[in-house]
Amino acid sequence: MKSDPAVAVRDLPVDTTASHDLDLPAIAPGEVLLEVEDLTTTFSSARGPVRAVRGVSFELRRGRTLGIVGESGSGKSVLSRSIMGLVPSNATRTGHVRFAGTEILDASAKTMRGYWGDQMAMVFQDPMTALNPVLRVEQQITESLHEHIDITKAEARATALQLLESVGIPEPKRRLRMYPHELSGGMRQRIMIAIALACGPQLLFADEPTTALDVTVQAQILDLLQGMQRDRQMAMILVTHDLGVVAGRAHDIAVMYAGRVVEQAPARELFAHVRHPYTEALLRSIPKLDMAKHTRLDAIGGRPPDLVNLPDGCKFAPRCPHAQDRCHVDDPALTADPAMAEHLFACHFPVSGVGVGVTVPVAVEPPSARPDPEVQA
């Protein structure tokens, strides 16, 4: 049932990867595709403004995967929806979102329709509710093809068939005629991916794409996403609550807490030199397979803060074992580690969590750029 996505994509009857509605410059792999600058999203509510995203900045290059990790309410899902412009009417966004050099934060929904599906697409968490239950699989895949590309019905069907094959669905011809309820959870998620990839987007959001799936199916779906990302040189944002999911799949990881990025670094660097106490606490709280049975877990006490009444200072301070007086008044900015410019963290008293609960292997990668602190001093 393993298929070779590379072959399947090249053989699509229609070139779906070109930009169709919009006059956007082509972004080569390795160049910056998405720039997010000081993005905030605030929802108005009866209790007052809910500050779901509070000043997030990052850039994402084509061909790279950014993993966004956080607990429920950390703002990770709102962040990706804010970038795409998929926010309800009670949301206010400020800051900048530039896609291929074009500012899209203030774009109208009509303009954004040119981007959705065609330039950027999203794979949602729950394929059962994200798919339309009364439409056949074929219609759901060809919808965005017809929206963005001048294509005949026969061409669209042939493309849909190829897409199903490329996402590893057996008997694709028969599946095209089926309704979502006739498919298993893993199959539905493969269909979601086929829909998202139909027009060859440059940027793919995957919002908890495997949370509703079994571990074995989860591994299959993550392999598929990773393969597609590599093959098409897409930029991908993989949103999850599970550090294990992003560890081997993302180039860079951003950890969010209470609407802000509290730590961001290349994946290997992050796991090897955890600096933020929250990231460290998250890693410690996960039960690991190599622990003996009945090992007491290091739970994080307390709960995430109320986004309507945020505490002063560092938002993690009330739960942080290392917090001192300063943390409760002065909110630390996201700054680079002096020893490693790519490693950002927002903490006054960073930890030196070397390999927290992670077996750091001896021969990993070509030497990381981090100089030996001993030598430097």
Partner 1 sequence: MAGIGTAHLRSPEEALLRLEDLVVEFRSGRRHTVHAVTGVNLDVLPGETLGLVGESGCGKSTTGKAIMQLPAPTSGRVLFDGKDLTQLSGSALRAMRTRIQMIFQDPISSLNPRRKVEDIVAEGLDIWNTGTQEERDTKVEDMLLTVGLDPAVARGRRPFQFSGGQCQRISIARAVVTEPQLIVCDEPVSALDVSVQAQILNLLEDMKARYGLTMIFIAHDLAVVKNISDRVAVMYLGRLCEVGDPDVLYRQPAHPYTAALLSAIPVADPAVRPEERHTLAGEIPSPLSPPSGCRFRTRCPRADERCRDEVPEMRQVADDQFVACHHPLAPGESLTAVSLNGASV
Where does this chain bind partner 1 (CB under 8 A)? 1-2, 71-72, 170, 184-187, 214-220, 222-223, 226, 241-245, 247-249, 267-268, 270-271, 281-283, 285-289, 291-301, 303, 357-361, 364
Q: Which is nearer to partner 1, 299 or 377 (CB)?
A: 299
Task: Tell me how far, at minimum, the Cβ of 244 lies from partner 1, in Å.
Answer: 4
Task: Tell me how far, at minimum, the Cβ of 74 lies from partner 1, in Å.
Answer: 9
Alpha carbon of 59 to those of 51, 98, 266, 283: distances in Å?
Answer: 22, 9, 13, 25
Q: Which is nearer to partner 1, 303 or 326 (CB)?
A: 303
Task: Tell me how far, at minimum, the Cβ of 366 lies from partner 1, in Å.
Answer: 13
Task: Tell me how far, at minimum, the Cβ of 105 lies from partner 1, in Å.
Answer: 30
Q: Which is nearer to partner 1, 171 or 374 (CB)?
A: 171
Which residue is listed with tokens 């001993």? 374
Q: Which is nearer to partner 1, 103 or 214 (CB)?
A: 214
Task: Tell me how far, at minimum, the Cβ of 62 lies from partner 1, in Å.
Answer: 21
Task: Tell me how far, at minimum, the Cβ of 20 lies from partner 1, in Å.
Answer: 32
Of 273, 299, 288, the residue nearest 352 (C-alpha)? 273
**HSE value, Cβ hemisphere, 13 Å, CA-based, for 237:** 30
Q: Which is nearer to partner 1, 153 or 296 (CB)?
A: 296
Q: Which is nearer to partner 1, 36 or 69 (CB)?
A: 69
Q: Which is nearer to partner 1, 146 or 181 (CB)?
A: 181
Task: Tell me how far, at minimum, the Cβ of 121 lies from partner 1, in Å.
Answer: 23
DSSP string, 49-111: -EEEEEEEEEEEETT-EEEEE--TTSSHHHHHHHHHT---TTEEEEEEEEETTEE-TT--HHH
Of 303, 300, 369, the residue nearest 339 (C-alpha)? 369
Q: Which is nearer to partner 1, 135 or 286 (CB)?
A: 286
Task: Tell me how far, at minimum, the Cβ of 357 lies from partner 1, in Å.
Answer: 7
Alpha carbon of 123 to those of 95, 196, 245, 358: distances in Å?
Answer: 25, 6, 16, 29
- Helices (H), ranges, the chain: 5-10, 76-84, 109-115, 127-130, 137-148, 153-166, 172-176, 185-197, 215-232, 243-247, 267-272, 277-285, 373-376
Report the alpha-carbon distance of residue 304 to residue 310 in Å, rounded.
Answer: 10
Q: Which is nearer to partner 1, 150 or 248 (CB)?
A: 248
DSSP tag of 327: G
Task: Tell me how far, at minimum, the Cβ of 250 lies from partner 1, in Å.
Answer: 8
Alpha carbon of 266 to those of 75, 130, 253: distances in Å?
Answer: 21, 31, 6
Report the alpha-carbon distance of residue 354 to residue 269 in Å, rounded.
Answer: 10
Q: What angle do CA 272, 34, 143 make, to 5 degrees?
A: 115
Instruction: Write out the H or E segment, with its range, that includes residue 257.
Output: strand 252-257
**159 — alpha (psi -120 to 50), left (phi > 0) or beta?**
alpha
Of 347, 201, 197, 202, the residue nearest 263 (C-alpha)? 347
Q: Which is nearer to partner 1, 18 or 128 (CB)?
A: 128
Report the alpha-carbon distance of residue 72 to residue 304 in Å, rounded.
Answer: 9
Task: Tell me how far, at minimum, the Cβ of 72 lies from partner 1, in Å.
Answer: 5
Of 8, 375, 361, 16, the residue nearest 190 (C-alpha)? 8
